[in-house]
């Protein structure tokens, strides 16, 4: 786009003055003094004052030009008190032509402000927090025009970033007596532990704020063009999401897409962005400023629906930021400090895997759910994850110290020494418990009444493989082959696939490895493939459905598996099979590849077993029929439960609503196990519940003797098995599992049994 020569390109006078005021390396106080000076001169007003919030929440007059200097650091306004307190409370500008006659006006003789009639106050916002208020006043009776209000909002934003940045740098520059703007108090947030562990580290934001050096534009017209282009790109991508040409969010429902579109086309939103750019901000800083305004306002809303809309707006703002930077690099590819604890609203599995595992200590999400793939990967990697930590993003700064207690589901930000000491003690105790598991590691998992249980690992990445030995697993019960596809920048070639499968087989040596063919779709998106937008991705075109409709990819993968397992035992299973016919069709595709390899004279696996994942209620009711065709059955309890309870495993509002220990769920699990046993087909279970002791022993009592789980589950489950009398537990629970049951869970009964029997669960 060419630039119109008539467009104003120079930033407004005020912005130039601010840029100069920013340039110095003086103390914060001098900087504030320069700011107020620059404002009075550029806006031609008699007074400019900065009020900053103390930790005790009063607003302190921290710099002024025009009011009495002697009032600086003396005048305090209570939250909500006077016009300044009102601006802070509402997080909105207040523009008055006759301030003293306003009912909220609070006269402070020490400031000498009685002679000033007009008043414009704007909040100094950062994240969802109000750091203070910036005020200009003049003697004459006037209403400040829109442009002046914009300009002052812009100055307030720049000021907020600079102040926080100065504070972060610390030292002499940061010294502003009695005031600290970044949150400093220790705070504890509660959430849900989705991947267990205890860890200490430093806060790192998945979406960091725009740095002060990138906030002020040099050329307004050029910045306006960038903004228009960014908005156009954003709208095009949102239109595509709605119309179905391409989607960047797989889980969002039509309703969410529509909300996005509504916001993307919201004239007020775009107008606010334009005004912000016009006032001298870069397009990125404009996005941030408008986002801050929304946050500060919406977070105060008592209506949860409105607060939820804030999330949509935030997503949209992040998309716009990405469109502006033209940056395709995921945030995870950027430099990470050691022991980083990532804070994000939500994180997809691909975004998670972009982070450097060596430096990643833990994850905190405002959303998330227990059986989402992000949580599964964290458990596999041993990275503690706490989700559903509401509001945490607004209460923290990059670099804050964090203790992540993913046992109790607590996040301690800026902890005091005594808390750190207590935490370290628990880390040590946990180490002791792990040592105790070490002691039983090589012992077979046999119940007190002599049932042998095979405890296997859920894996999918190279990093998982050493854990086979370290955890003492009996094999890999679920190898999620799609993980390799998700972490690659391009579709993995035959050789890359073969190499990974071979490494898994070699690491397992004599132990079995069960490869699950690609389970894509749902929340598993490939970075190099445009996902097809669907209203209900979890029950949409995913897993074996894609495999059968696009058989080339599935056959290619089968080929890699057959090559890798040459001369070895190959176990393959297909995900999300819904009808017996689907399985027969998939197996036929696999057989074609076996024949092909054989006709080419390739060495074949010495034994092949082709099984099915039982993840849909429909297949459960066809258990006898499927047993006629499958060599083994593996229950994918994560999906089976989500479909059984009609409860989206990724939806925070419903994911934990139903307990898999509900008698109805246990009935279907028992029905499947009985069906397989009668048919003489081996049965196993590989959902996340297999790794939780209470659930695991219940499954054993129902007849499951092969359980595949995240690495963290093996020790605790084995310890429980060694003290379990499975027949006795079966006797306890059998009468509870029937169609007459009104119980919504039998958890308490199993817990009580564990207490009586001394089972560590
Ligand atoms: C399951 O659904 O239980 C399962 C093991 O597969 P995934 O979690 O990968 O969908
Ligand atoms: Mg599944």
DSSP states of 51-75? EEE-TTS-EEEEEEESS-GGGTTT-
How many angstroms does the Cα of residue 638 sit away from the middle of ligand 2?
Answer: 6
Determine the topology of domain 218-325 in CATH. Enzyme I; Chain A, domain 2 (1.10.274)
Taking phi over 0 as left and psi of -120 to 50 as alpha, with beta for the rest, 604 belongs to beta
Q: Is 73 a catalytic site residue?
A: no
pTM: 0.66
Indicate the helix (H) or strand (E) that contains 267: helix 267-278
The pLDDT assigned to 158 comes to 86
Architecture of the domain whose range is 13-174 = 2-Layer Sandwich (3.30)
Q: Decide if 13-174 and 444-757 have a common fold.
A: no
Domain boundaries, the chain: 13-174, 187-209+331-431, 218-325, 444-757
The pLDDT score that the predictor gives to residue 18 is 80
d(CA 390, CA 409): 12
pLDDT at residue 406, rounded to an integer? 95
**d(Cα 168, Cα 346) in Å, to the nearest integer?**
26
Predicted confidence at residue 683, as pLDDT, reads: 98
Catalytic residue among 86, 373, 412, 662: 373
Q: Strands 683-685, 633-635: parallel, antiparallel or unpaired by DSSP?
A: parallel
Atom of ligand 1 nearest to the CA of 376: 8
Nearest ligand 1 atom, CA 634: 5
CB atoms within 10 A of CB 526: 17
Residue nearest to atom 8 of ligand 1 (CA): 638
Atom 10 of ligand 1, residue of closest alpha carbon: 639
What residues are paired with 480 via a beta bridge? 516
| H/E stretch holding 377 | helix 373-381
Separation of 687 CA from ligand 1 center, angstroms?
6
The domain 444-757 belongs to what CATH superfamily?
Phosphoenolpyruvate-binding domains (3.20.20.60)
Q: What is the mean pLDDT of each run of 10 residues along the chain (761 residues)?
A: 46 77 76 90 93 87 94 89 92 92 89 87 85 94 87 87 77 65 86 93 87 82 92 82 47 56 82 89 89 73 65 75 68 83 84 85 89 79 91 86 94 95 92 84 94 96 86 95 81 93 97 96 72 81 93 95 98 98 98 97 97 98 98 97 91 84 98 98 96 97 96 91 98 96 97 96 84
Centroid of ligand 1 to alpha carbon of 640 (angstroms): 8
Q: Which fold has domain 187-209+331-431?
A: Glucose Oxidase; domain 1 (3.50.30)
Give ligand 1 pocket residues (Cβ under 6 A).
376, 478, 480, 519, 615, 636-639, 686-687
Report the run of H or E that residue 752 belongs to, with start and end: helix 747-757
How far does residue 608's CA lie from ligand 2's centre (Å)? 22
The answer to whether 686 is a known catalytic residue is: yes
Phi, psi (deg, nearest 5) at residue 349? -60, -35
Other Cβ atoms within 10 Å of 152 Cβ, number: 25
């Amino acid at each position: 786009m060419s630039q119109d020569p008539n467009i104003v390109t120079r930033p407004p006078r005020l912005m130039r003055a601010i840029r100069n005021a920013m340039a110095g390396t003086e103390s914060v106080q001098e900087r504030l003094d320069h700011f107020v000076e620059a404002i009075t001169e550029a806006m031609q007003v008699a007074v400019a004052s900065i009020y900053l919030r103390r930790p005790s929440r009063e607003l302190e007059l921290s710099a002024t030009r025009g009011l009495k200097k002697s009032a600086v650091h003396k005048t305090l306004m209570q939250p909500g008190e006077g016009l300044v307190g009102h601006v802070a409370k509402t997080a909105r500008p207040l523009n008055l032509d006759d301030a003293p006659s306003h009912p909220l006006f609070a006269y402070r003789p020490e400031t000498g402000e009685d002679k000033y009639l007009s008043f414009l106050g704007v909040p100094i916002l950062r994240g969802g927090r109000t750091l203070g208020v910036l005020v200009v006043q003049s003697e004459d009776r006037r209403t400040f025009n829109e442009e002046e209000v914009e300009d002052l909002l812009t100055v307030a934003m720049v000021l907020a970033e600079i102040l926080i940045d100065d504070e972060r740098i610390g030292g002499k520059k940061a010294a502003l007596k009695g005031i600290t703007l970044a949150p400093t108090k220790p705070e504890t947030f509660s959430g849900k532990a989705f991947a267990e562990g205890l860890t200490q580290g430093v806060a790192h934001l998945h979406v960091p704020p725009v740095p002060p050096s990138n906030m002020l534009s040099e050329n307004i017209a050029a910045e306006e063009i960038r903004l228009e282009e960014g908005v156009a790109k954003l709208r095009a991508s949102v239109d595509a999401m709605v119309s179905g040409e391409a989607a960047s969010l797989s889980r969002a429902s039509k309703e969410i897409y529509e909300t996005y579109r509504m916001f993307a086309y919201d004239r007020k939103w775009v107008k606010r962005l334009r005004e912000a750019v016009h006032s001298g901000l870069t397009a990125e800083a404009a996005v941030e400023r408008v986002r801050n305004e929304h946050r500060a306002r919406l977070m105060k809303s008592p209506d949860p629906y409105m607060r939820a809309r804030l999330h949509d707006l935030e997503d949209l703002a992040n998309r716009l930021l990405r469109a502006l930077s033209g940056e395709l690099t995921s945030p995870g590819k950027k430099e990470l400090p050691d022991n980083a604890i990532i804070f994000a609203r939500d994180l997809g599995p691909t975004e998670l895997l972009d982070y450097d595992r060596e430096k990643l200590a833990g994850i905190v999400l405002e959303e998330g759910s227990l059986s989402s793939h992000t949580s599964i990967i964290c458990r596999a990697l041993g990275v503690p994850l706490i989700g559903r930590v509401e509001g945490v993003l607004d209460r923290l700064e990059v670099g804050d110290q964090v203790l992540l207690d993913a046992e109790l589901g607590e996040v301690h930000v800026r902890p005091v020494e005594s808390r750190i000491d207590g935490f370290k003690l628990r880390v040590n105790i946990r180490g002791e418990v792990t040592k105790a598991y070490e002691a039983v590691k090589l012992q077979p998992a046999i119940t007190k009444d002599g049932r042998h249980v095979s405890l296997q690992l859920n894996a999918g990445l190279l990093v998982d493989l050493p854990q086979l030995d370290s955890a003492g697993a009996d094999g890999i019960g679920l190898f999620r082959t799609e993980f390799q596809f998700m972490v690659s920048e391009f579709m993995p070639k035959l050789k890359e696939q073969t190499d990974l499968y071979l490494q898994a087989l070699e690491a397992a040596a004599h132990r079995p490895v069960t490869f699950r063919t690609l389970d894509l779709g749902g929340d598993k998106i490939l970075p190099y493939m445009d996902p097809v937008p669907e209203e209900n991705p979890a029950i949409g075109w995913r897993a074996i459905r894609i495999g059968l409709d696009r058989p080339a990819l599935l056959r290619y993968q089968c080929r890699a598996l057959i090559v890798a397992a040459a001369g070895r035992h190959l176990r393959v299973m297909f995900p999300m099979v819904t009808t017996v016919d689907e399985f027969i069709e998939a197996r036929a595709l696999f057989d074609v590849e076996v024949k092909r390899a054989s006709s080419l004279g390739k060495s074949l696996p010495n034994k092949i077993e082709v099984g099915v994942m039982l993840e849909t209620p429909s297949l459960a009711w066809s258990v006898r029929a499927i047993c006629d065709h499958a060599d083994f059955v593996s229950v994918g309890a994560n999906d089976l439960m989500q479909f059984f309870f009609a409860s989206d495993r990724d939806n925070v509002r419903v994911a934990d609503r139903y307990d898999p220990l509900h008698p109805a769920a246990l009935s279907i699990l028992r029905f499947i196990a009985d069906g397989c046993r009668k048919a003489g087909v081996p049965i196993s279970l590989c959902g996340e519940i297999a790794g939780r002791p209470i659930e695991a022993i219940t499954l054993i009592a129902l007849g499951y003797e092969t359980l595949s789980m995240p690495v963290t589950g093996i020790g605790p489950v084995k310890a429980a098995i060694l003290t379990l009398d499975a027949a006795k537990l079966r006797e306890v629970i059998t009468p509870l599992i029937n169609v007459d049951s009104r119980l919504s869970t039998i958890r308490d009964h199993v817990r009580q049994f564990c207490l009586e029997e001394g089972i560590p669960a």
